[in-house]
Amino acid sequence: ALMLMVAGQAWAMGEGLHVIQGGPAYFNVGVGAFNAAGVVPGPGHRGNATLPEIDLEYQTAAKLFGVGALYGIVANTDGGFMGYTGFYSD
């Protein structure tokens, strides 16, 4: 076990193991259609129209072990919107 610890430390120092990594941040914009498949809810509901939507997403530059955070919002022209957060990796 001691040998593995020493070998692991030597590998981390020699190869440049980066726990916290940097890089470019990204801002993505997407356009699409909400309910593009035309799904209709059950009886007694008004129909779901197909509406234009926009997606704005920000991916952070800092990563921990190659995993970064992302934040975004999706909005349609009928006033509906949803915010989200998650993780990404290259």
Checking if the pLDDT of 74 tops 80, the result is yes
- DSSP calls for 17-29: --SEE----EEEE
Whether this prediction's pTM lies above 0.85 is answered by no
Number of Cβ atoms within 10 Å of the Cβ of 59: 20
- Residue that wins the pLDDT comparison between 64 and 84: 84
pLDDT band at 13 (very low <50, low <70, confident <90, very high): low
User: What span, in angstroms and rounded, lies between the C-alpha atoms of 42 and 83?
Assistant: 26
28-65: pLDDT as tens digits: 999 999 888 877 777 767 767 888 999 999 999 988 88
φ, ψ dihedrals at 58, nearest 5°: -120, 125
